[in-house]
């Protein structure tokens, strides 16, 4: 326990930018040579002061080291989201693990096209003993799934053809919480890549879907702006016990 406490470092926002109408925030987390860079943003940046409106979320992260050594393996990624948000799934079809099993990214996106709520990509470093490490990348797709514990849930899908064709499916529950400024929490358990020799390096996602159900226009991700900012907290846990966490604060403009 003491080891984990001593190896936990918290750094809040080190850069806050507004570019192209997207509210972007960046945090840099460091522990020894390990460095994690996380960026987040959303569009539009003008949102109602009361209630919510549709948004699209953008996020990406990078893991590396300052001395060129191999980074530890990411085990868990946990994100807390601002309480002034809402996730809507009414009328949105479910996808299942059965439909996604043993599928490539292209096939998965075809069989559950109407359930897609997010898309992006990820890259890992494959470091087998006594071999030169090499990178492998995959599209990442988030599919709406049946609720778990009454909470919205997604299935994160990825596919790598090296070193052997493998489909990865990670269920992620969007839990409702009461934690200060945060109202939602997700925890993703990162599966072992390439038999445990894969080291996640970077990933990015865009989350947002809009559809019409019974004549009403709906949006998967929604938010309001009562205080001029929205925030999220990110925590990464690695297989050597290291934990890094920080808070991203993103500006918005309240309207109405």
Q: Exposed, middle or buried: residue 19 (CB in 10 Å: 0-12, 13-18, 19+)? A: exposed
> Domain count of the chain?
1
User: What integer pLDDT is reported at residue 256 of this predicted model?
Assistant: 78
Instruction: Show the domain range for 187.
Output: 2-255
Give me the pLDDT at residue 4, please. Answer: 36
Name the token pair of 198: 């894969």
> Given this model, what pLDDT does residue 195 score?
94
**What's the confidence (pLDDT) of residue 26?**
86
The pLDDT of residue 11:
33
The pLDDT tens digits for 105-126 are: 999 999 999 999 999 999 999 9
What is the pLDDT, as a whole number, of residue 202? 97
The string of pLDDT tens digits covering residues 33-74 is 999 999 989 999 999 999 999 999 999 999 999 999 999 999
Q: Which parts of the chain register pLDDT below 50?
A: 1-24
Both tokens of 133, joined, read 């490490």
Enter the pTM of the model: 0.90
For residue 46, the model assigns a pLDDT of 97
Within 8 A by CB and 6+ apart from 244, the residues are 8, 9, 29, 30, 31, 34, 36, 235, 236
């Amino acid at each position: 326990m003491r080891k984990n406490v001593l190896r936990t470092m918290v750094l809040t926002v080190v850069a806050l930018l507004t570019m192209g109408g997207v509210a972007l925030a960046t945090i840099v987390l460091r522990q020894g040579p390990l460095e994690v860079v996380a960026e987040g943003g959303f569009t539009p940046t003008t949102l109602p002061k009361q209630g919510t409106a549709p948004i699209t979320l953008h996020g990406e992260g990078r893991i590396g080291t300052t001395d060129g050594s191999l980074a530890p393996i990411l085990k868990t990624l946990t994100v807390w989201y601002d309480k002034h948000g809402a996730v809507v799934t009414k009328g949105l079809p479910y996808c299942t693990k059965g439909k996604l099993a043993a599928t490539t990214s292209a096939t998965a996106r075809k069989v559950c096209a109407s359930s897609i709520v997010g898309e992006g990509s990820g890259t890992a470093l494959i470091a087998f003993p006594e071999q030169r490490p090499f990178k492998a990348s995959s599209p990442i797709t988030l599919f709406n799934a049946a609720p778990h514990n009454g909470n919205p849930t997604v299935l994160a899908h990825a596919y790598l053809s090296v070193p052997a064709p493998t489909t990865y499916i990670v269920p992620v529950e969007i839990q409702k919480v009461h934690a200060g400024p945060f109202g939602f929490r997700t925890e993703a358990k990162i599966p072992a890549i390439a038999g445990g020799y894969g080291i996640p390096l970077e990933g990015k996602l865009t989350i947002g879907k809009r559809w019409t159900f019974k004549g009403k226009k709906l949006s998967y991700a929604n938010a309001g702006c009562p205080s001029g900012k929205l925030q999220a907290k990110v925590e990464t846990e690695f297989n050597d016990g290291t934990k890094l966490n920080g808070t991203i604060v993103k500006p918005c403009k309240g309207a109405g």
